[in-house]
Amino acid sequence: MAEQCRATPRVSDEGAGRRRRGRRRPVSCAGACLLRQSAHALRLEASRVTRPIQALRGDAVTFRADPFDRPSAECLVYQEDALVIIEDGRITSFGGHAETRHLLPEGLEPVHYTDCLISAGFVDAHVHYPQMQVIGSYGAELLDWLTTYTFVEEQKFADPAHAAMVAGRFLRELLRAGTTTAMVYCTVHPQSVDAFFAESSLWNTRMIAGKVLMDRNAPAALLDTAQRGYDESLDLIDRWHGKGRQHYAVTPRFAPTSTEAQLDAAGALLTTRDDLFLQTHLCENLKEIEWVRELFPARSSYLDVYAHSGLVGRRSVFGHAVHMHEGDFCICHQAGAALAHCPTSNLFLGSGLFPLFEAVDPTRPVRVGLGTDVGGGTSLSQLQTLNEAYKVAALKGRKLDAIQAFYLATLGGARALYLDDRIGRIAAGFDADLCVLDLKATPLIDFRRQVCRDITDLLFVLMTLGDDRAVRATWVAGECVYDRERPEPFRYPAASA
């Protein structure tokens, strides 16, 4: 298969990587309220001081390697009665409690989670925060779903107060589901991005987000132009990228809603910094693919449309990629681009079945993360997303084992986002982003687990029966920001948003 990769390139050399382009003139257009939000977030950042040492105790799971590349059992680390020690937001020690408790400062009692499983926080590689309120909208396929529900809802985000309200709810729902990092689409409005990053800065979550670029085939109220989209994105990059734990993603929605000029402008944006992200949609639905063929007749494939504008490279994440050819996978492998597998959305909208095991073929592996794709997806819970990922794989004739599944939701997702040196594992040096799963979350989970034979069995039960109810607590950068057992579960109550 690697031979085929070399033999059948489907894009021109010009488009195979990111092209270098000159930086265009940035134009400042931020309104007063946007600057106020930004200043608020920066004040929060400045007010964070070195945090005291913290520790968690309980059974824990994490990963040492990729279970799509070697036997699953070699990749999982399962530590009974583990101790996780955290200093200034980072993990400084992870090991058995008996062996490592001497490292605890005198008098520090770890937070002891019994009948629980501590994991790295979940990573959601594809989600739309403005669509949270249209989750579960009836009866449409992708293109009519966009016009009937999404484009109507997204117009509300012209109002900064609405954007701030939804961003506040969205962050809380993510944390309730144990998700600590997400790659997030905002709307075409810059204020929707400011609202999201301001909220994420409040929680100190590591998030990737960007302003949607659309200059055709959408309602006039949601359109920008190639130049305006460029200028507004550049302002947002200057304002947010690398501020605390925030990262910017250049975000053309998908090929049908951008002219070639706008896709080229997106490619130019990517050359302005070394570490920007790119997110868009790819090969989700057959009608969509046909439409792209009509709109870009000179391109050899849907992926080639993006490659031609310099959008296929490291830190590029393509949502869905359900209907891919071998040549597409080869290009993604060679470029280091990633795919976001969004099973609940693909089933809900009837888009198709993602060929996971073809994508991660060890002879030319493509990086794959797991996306909820809310509101096309039906849950913000990565456990529920894994539940559907298992069924999608089964319908493709393969079995997704529980170790592979939890890898996708944690370290695999981090690797897809090129953040696997900071998040996705419980290990010394990694950010202390953790979720604590409750093995007695529901009577049925508690009853079922009593006959589990081993940790693999238990993980599979959690991903089949679990959802946000299975998350006891969520830690972000060493701080317990959500604990279901507290009178007010969230570190920042909703009223303070």
CB atoms within 10 A of CB 473: 24
Of 215 and 373, CB closest to Zn ion: 373
Closest contact distance (angstroms) between CB of 185 and Zn ion is: 6
Tokens found for residue 86: 């955290």
Closest contact distance (angstroms) between CB of 130 and Zn ion is: 11
Q: Which residue has the tokens 């460029």?
A: 230
330: three-class secondary structure by DSSP: helix
- Give the β-pairing of 207-210 and 246-252: parallel
d(CA 115, CA 56): 13
Closest contact distance (angstroms) between CB of 333 and Zn ion is: 22
Stretch 286-325: interaction string toward Zn ion, x if CB under 5 A:
---------------------------------x------
Closest contact distance (angstroms) between CB of 398 and Zn ion is: 24
Of 254 and 482, CB closest to Zn ion: 254
Of 128 and 415, CB closest to Zn ion: 128
Question: Which of these segments, 39-47, 52-60, 369-377, 385-393, binds Zn ion (CB under 5 A)?
Answer: 369-377
Q: Which residue has the tokens 């659309």?
A: 214
Closest contact distance (angstroms) between CB of 140 and Zn ion is: 14
Closest contact distance (angstroms) between CB of 160 and Zn ion is: 23
C-beta of residue 377 within 8 angstroms of C-beta of residue 347: no
Closest contact distance (angstroms) between CB of 24 and Zn ion is: 27
- Footprint of Zn ion on residues 256-275 (CB under 5 A)? none
Does residue number 373 form part of the binding site for Zn ion (CB under 5 A)? yes
Closest contact distance (angstroms) between CB of 198 and Zn ion is: 23
Of 37 and 351, CB closest to Zn ion: 351
Of 85 and 255, CB closest to Zn ion: 255
Of 201 and 385, CB closest to Zn ion: 385
Please provide the size of the chain in residues: 497
CA angle at 178 for the pair 336 and 63, rounded to the nearest 5°: 50
Question: Which of these segments, 153-161, 191-199, 254-262, 365-373, binds Zn ion (CB under 5 A)?
Answer: 365-373
d(CA 254, CA 398): 30
Stretch 474-493: interaction string toward Zn ion, x if CB under 5 A:
--------------------
Of 319 and 478, CB closest to Zn ion: 319
Question: Which of these segments, 211-219, 310-318, 372-380, 446-454, binds Zn ion (CB under 5 A)?
Answer: 372-380
- Cα 84 from chain centroid (whole Å): 25
Of 128 and 425, CB closest to Zn ion: 128
Tokens found for residue 488: 């007010």
Question: Which of these segments, 158-166, 306-314, 368-376, 377-385, binds Zn ion (CB under 5 A)?
Answer: 368-376
For 57, 85, 107, 267, 429, the CA distances from 95, given in Å and listed in that order, are 10, 9, 19, 44, 13
- CA torsion 131-137-141-146 (nearest 10°) is -40
Closest contact distance (angstroms) between CB of 373 and Zn ion is: 5
Count Cβ atoms within 10 A of the Cβ of residue 13 and give its class: 0-12 exposed, 13-18 middle, 19 or more buried: exposed
Of 37 and 192, CB closest to Zn ion: 192
d(CA 405, CA 390): 8
Name the residue among 3, 4, 18, 1 with its Cα closest to residue 271: 18
- Give the β-pairing of 367-370 and 207-210: unpaired
Does residue number 153 form part of the binding site for Zn ion (CB under 5 A)? no
Residues in touch with Zn ion (CB under 5 A): 319, 373
